[in-house]
Every structure is written in C-alpha cells, then in structure tokens.
Structure 1
Amino acid sequence: MRVAIIGAGISGLAVAYYLQKLGMRYDLFEAEAEAGGLIKSPRVGDYQLELGPHSLQLTPDLQELLHELKLNDEIVQPAQVSQNRFIRKDGKYHCLPNSPVKLLMSSFFSWRTKLQIAQEPQKPVQDIPEETISHFFKRRFGQEVVDYLVKPMVAGIYGGDPDQLLLEKTFPYIKEMEKQHGSILKALTKEEQPDRHPVFTLTHGLQALPKAIASKLISLHLDHQVEMVHRTHGKYFLSIKNDEEGLSEVEYDAVIMALPAHKAAEQLEYTAPGLAAALQNVTYSPMAVVHSAYHKHTIGHDVNGFGALHPAKEKQFTAGSIWSSSLFPRLCPDDEVLFSSFVGGTQAPIHTHYPETEIKHRTHIELKANYNISADTPLFQHCQVWPQAIPQPDMFILDVHELVSKLEKEKLFACANWMAGPSVPDCIRYARQLAQKIYSMLPSVQ
C-alpha cells in the first residue's frame, strides 16, 4: 500500500513518521518551503517567541516521541509559579484554587452561585443531544460559573465560545461523569483524579519538534502544492503544481488529508463533494498573539504565575495573557518581563480586524493599566495574526466527522486538528492511532 499525505503541519508530519516506523510507503506533500504549520518559534533579538502554542502537555505519546527524536535533553519544565493561575473579576485578578472542588466552593463565586453548586448533586441527570458546553454548566452550576470560569477557559483552549461548542466534542469525559455518578461534584470526590500532564517547552522553542520529525522523514516533499485529488478505478492521483518529480503519475492506494478544513475542501471538490461541502462550513477562530516586553522595575503588579484570563464580561481588549518570562525565564533578558497576550477568538473576532499597529497599541494600553506599568512604551513588541487559528467543534463538525468515518472504507482519511482536537498532543495521539489503523488494512496483517 502506498499512501499520499497532504499537508506537513504537526498532524501530517506525525502520521508520516508513524507510517514510516511501520515500514509503509508514503509521500508527504507540503506547499510551503518549511514544515510545521502554525508551530513557529522565531528568535527575535533577545526574545524567544512562540507564535502558535506557547507550551505543550507532556502526555505519554508525546514523551515517547520526544525520546525517539532525541529531544529529551531539550525539555524545559516551567517554574513552580506555573501553578498560580488567575482570572479577572470585577477589575481585579484572582488566583484560582488548583482543585476543581475547591474552586467551585471558593469565595470567587457569589453566595447564590455557591448555593447552586452545593445543590448540584441533587440535580437530575439529563441526556441532551448536541448539548453545548454553556448549557451543560449552566444547568448544573449556574450562569456565573459559565461567565467567569467556563467562558474564559474555553477561550483559552479553543479561542471559542462555549455557547456554540458541543460538550461531546470538547469535554466528553465531563458528560460521562454526569452519566456514571449523577453529579460532577460526586465524580470529582469519588474518583481518583489522574495527575495533570505537566507542561513544557523546548530549549530552542517548540518548532524544534516539527523540525526534528521532518529531519527523520525519507519522503517529505516541500514546495509541492497539491491542487486536486482524483480517484480512478479505486486508485488516487494528485494534481501537483510544478511537478518536476512526476509524482502526479504515481498511483496511491490511500490519501490522508492533513490540511486546514477549507484547504482540504478545495482539493476534494470532485473526489468527495459531500465532505468538501461540509468542510467549507467548519468555523475557525481568528487569533492574534502579541508579545510585549518591559523592564521589571516598571511593573507594579505581581506576575508570579502562569498568567491571567479575561472573561468577556470584563470588557477587556485581550482574552488574557501568559506571563511567559515567569514560566520560562530564558525567553527574555533577566531584567525584563515578557507577556504573551491573546486577542480575538470567536467571542471577540472583530479585534483581529484592526491593523497590527493598533492591536499592539491597544494591548500595551491594557497591560499598562492592568499591571500598573509605568513605561510609556514596551521595550519590544511583536504581533502575529492568524485569521484561521483553531477549528471550532460546533454543530458543523458533526457532519464532517460522520463523513470522514464513512469515507475511510474508500481509504480516504483525515488527520488534522479538526478531527483530533486542538492541541499538539491530541494530534500526535490521533496520528499514531490512524497510522496503526491504515497498517492493519494491509492484507498480510491479521
């Protein structure tokens, strides 16, 4: 079996790596001159920036991959203060308890909400098809929990709005808690909670991960833009721009789409028109990442922590900031503080439509006010805008997942974050499972 993989972001790289480990023939095509997708870690002067994910969770799959790539020595653990996470409420930053039960019972919430929380174990179990995240948490815990905990958390993970995102596609284990225990609080107190996977970065930035995977691949074709996928007599052919290697003539038994949804739709217009139409409906959150640096002595607010989120009700320009230099001090000079602020998302998409100079200026004005910064301008500032940053697991994703499942019998697969989930570990896990699934389809494999 020969497999064509289209797109060399982290998903395409990972599935190619695992197919190669299994001894399968593949060709991985990437339109750009560099693999890695949204994982970008430029060094700009004295500053190590992350323009995509800021840090990763060290899951077992990812830990094993880092070991195989000989990146173990590059792992950088965060400072101890990373346990301190803050949310803005009534104009002030509140440090949240690190236990879900302690958080729900803390003084962060009003007495009315705490009463609703205390009554949660008595509330009936409801099996609501296509329930949104907001609807679930409102009926179990009340609107204040949605506004000041759920919405900022979901904005931080998905850049999304929990009023639109489906619980079953985002946090299915929470729905299972209600089903099995009749109560989220009962589940949290009865079950032994697994340890959270620690976060980390790499010495020279997270882009070292896709670069390391790419360096191991024997059939990676950069600057190869696939324009269309064709299927004839059970075989797949690719239309490739500037095809000097003649790969458009190669027959493929299977194709893996590892592209953003809208780009995959363009290539599948004739081969899988139903899926192409569904992919056109996939919603993406727009996001801007703004890095701002200041001298430590100009900052009048404590920044010993992971960072702070801004609920939409707080009417802030940014969705929040990671206090990057508090987590990983090497990211900037020792006498400076580096903030990584996030602008936009589906709860405030209009903010990413401003010119970059305006985004940077508004971010600075907000940081200056919130952190009592005396400096009139940052020492350094950088803005990266991603018009389509994170796919949203809303109502539209259901048709996509169903159609992808049906097309697998025709050996047309998808390996992307709109299938796997938003995080790099999600994509690594999904790619590994998909490679094994395709390998099991070989006639000789029982």
Structure 2
Amino acid sequence: MRKYDKVLMEMEQQISGGSYRSGHKLPSVRSAAARYGCSVSTVIRAYRELEQKHVIYSIPQSGYYVVEQPGEGSLEAEDGIIDFGSASPDLNVFPYLDFQHCLNKAIDTYKYHLFTYGETQGLAALRQTLVPHLADAQVFAAPGRIFITSGVQQALGILAKMPFPNGKETVLVEQPSYDIYLRFLEAEGIPVCGIPRSGGGIDLQLLEEYFRTGGIKFFYTMSRYHNPLGTSYTKEERQAIARLAGKYDVYVVEDDYMADLGDSRPFDPIAAFDRSGHVIYLKSFSKIIFPGLSLGAAVLPEPLLPVFKAHKSYMDTSLLSQAALDIYIKNGMYERHKHKIRSLYAERMARLNEALLRYNSAGLIEAPRVDSGIYMQMKLPQTVNLEQLEKRLHKRKIRVVSGKGFYLSGYLEREKFLRISISRARPEHIATGVAAIVEEAAATGWW
C-alpha cells in the first residue's frame, strides 16, 4: 500500500473510531506529518481529500476540524441482540461518503453516456479497469472476456440454464453450499447432485469419479472462505480441481465472493491454475462495498462468450453504479476500504477463535480455525436438538443460522451445525455469544 493511502486510511479509522469526535480539531499539518512519518505535502493531500468527502472542514488561520455528522456511528445492533446470523456487511463501515463522491464524479465524467442503454457486457471503462484489478488476484483476462452482471446471482442463473460446449447437463455442488443457489437450482428443475465438503476439505478421488462418470456440466465451488464452512481449499486442492476439469471436460464455476475479505497472504484461486480454459471466475463487489450496489463480474473462457451474451441479452445493471465503481477502483478508494474492512473482520474472527478456546474446552463444538472471511461452521453432536437450541438462543437475544438450509432437499449425509457470521457481530459481544452457544448446546444435547 502506498504511504499516502496508508496515512489516509489511518486518519479515516481514527475519525470513524471516535479518536477524533465531531467538532474536534485535528493535529496540525506538521505534527501529523511527524506522527505518521511522512511529508507535510502527504498530510495536506490527505486532509484535502477528507475535506472533499465532507469528513472534515478547515477554518483559515485555525486548522482542520471533524464535521459533525448527525447519527454517524449510531447504526448499532438492535438493543441487546448479538447477531451471529446476518451475512450483510457492517452498516457502520459502509463507504457512504466515498461512494457518494464517486457517484458525483461519475456524472461529471460520463455525462449523457450514463443515460443510454449501454453494452450487454457492461461499461467498457469498468471492464478495462478490472483487467489489472483481477490480475492482482492472479486472474488474467482481456476486457472482452469480462461481463458485468447484476451481482453474482445473475451470472449463476445464466450459467445454470445455458448449454455448455461439453453437452452435459448436471450441476455438481458442494454439500453444504450457498443456500440461495441450491434453492434456485431446485426451483428451476436443473439436474443437480451433491458432493460432501467438510472443514477438512473435499475427497478428490470422489470428485474425479463424479467428473468421469456423472455427466457433469459444471462444478460450483467456493474455493476461498466457503459459505457456510468458512474454510478454504489448499493450494494442492485448487491445482487438482483445475487439472481434473481439463482432463474430463468439466467446467468449474468458481464463486470467489470473498476475494477481497481475506488476509494479506497470497491466495491463487482455481482460475490461476486453469490451463485448459475450463474455469469460470465470478467476483462480487457487494461484500466489500454494500449489497445494494448489486454488481459482479464474470470472467468466461472464450467458447462460452457468445452463448452467455445471448442469454444475458440486454444491459440490466445501472450504468451510473458501474461508472462510480470504475472511479472508486481507479482512485484507490477501493483498495483503502478493502484494507480497512479486512482488519475489522480479522479482529472479530480472532475474538471468535479466542472465545472458542476459552469456553469450548470440553470440545462440545467442532470448529475449524478460520483467520479471515466472515463465516465459521460450529459443528454440533448429533444428540443436540437444533430447533430447540435455536429457540433457546433466540430467547437470549442471540441470532444464529442453522446448517439445515445449506443442503439439497434430498441430501442425506448432513452434518449438524450452526453457521456463525461475524460481519454484524459487535466485537465486545462475541465472547458472551460464544459462551451462551456452548452453554445452550450442552443443555439441549444432554452433554
């Protein structure tokens, strides 16, 4: 991260975290430069950007002050609720002012172009901007292979219904997997079958058998920070999946929706190991910015482009939103916000791991260690009554999500678990919530 970006991010964190409250004076330019170990010009530039975003204001001959924001920081959880259920991003870290600035800039930059129908593939400028953005994640694609979609959901729907060059029809999904997509596949009557995946990974021999004999059109997977497991495939597993796809002419739909919320360690997705053109890479911008943006990107192999375009058929995502996202990425705001939200979620996940070590000493709950992302699977003994556990936790104002919905309707090899999300859980409430889950699980399971 550039020095300027780091300084600006730290300033924003101090303001949003309450170190500098509404109306308070910020350090002088020289003292701030000394504090951050940077030049005076870097501080001036950062203050000017904060001023443009209406976070601070200047008074001649006096200095810079924090703008009073009525209601800012007041988006707390409902009274007494410990929310381990919501998958939505934390409302308190939505980049409202940043994105508002980008929306205004987009209108100034693109003017009347925003009021046309646009291209089916999406705004050309954004697709071009995404080339280096995706390359940072080791996904290399020309703009012509990138489609902007109305969230990842639209891409998943199109892929399920369109024919593939391999002539196969069955969709293979991990079990458990993304509940909304499972319900869609079942409702649309798409041929679908499941393969077990646990916190320990997937049986590659069984996967190869499905690829070889199952008439598999594509394999839908989340390689990184799986929903609901929270775990990621090892490098060896990702390499093997890419190799098997080419060997048996099976496509892989890699839903990398958590690409920006992981830790800073390198992680090459399955697409990075694709040598045969069998991996479709999907990326969402909803988890990192806000769900209402409803923008995603699909990177497709060349043979799939004409069919996917025909099924998408028209421009159906807001050009203004696309233009604003283009500017948001280009000016470095996206990168800064990514680091901010990464550190926030990493802290909460660390607290979750610490709480499990403290309160789950008897080993009632099985949970893989997850260092980033937002999800963790808490596996329970078969003796636990899941419905009763949910009711008891609800009475204690603790929201959790049962693992039941993350399986295909007829799938029998189910684990009994809770999916825990830390995206909306207040850090100071996490330990209390975990202690209650362990206590109530023991009470309902006659442990």
TM-score (norm 1): 0.25
Query: Which has a greater percent of strand?
Result: 1
TM-score (norm 2): 0.25
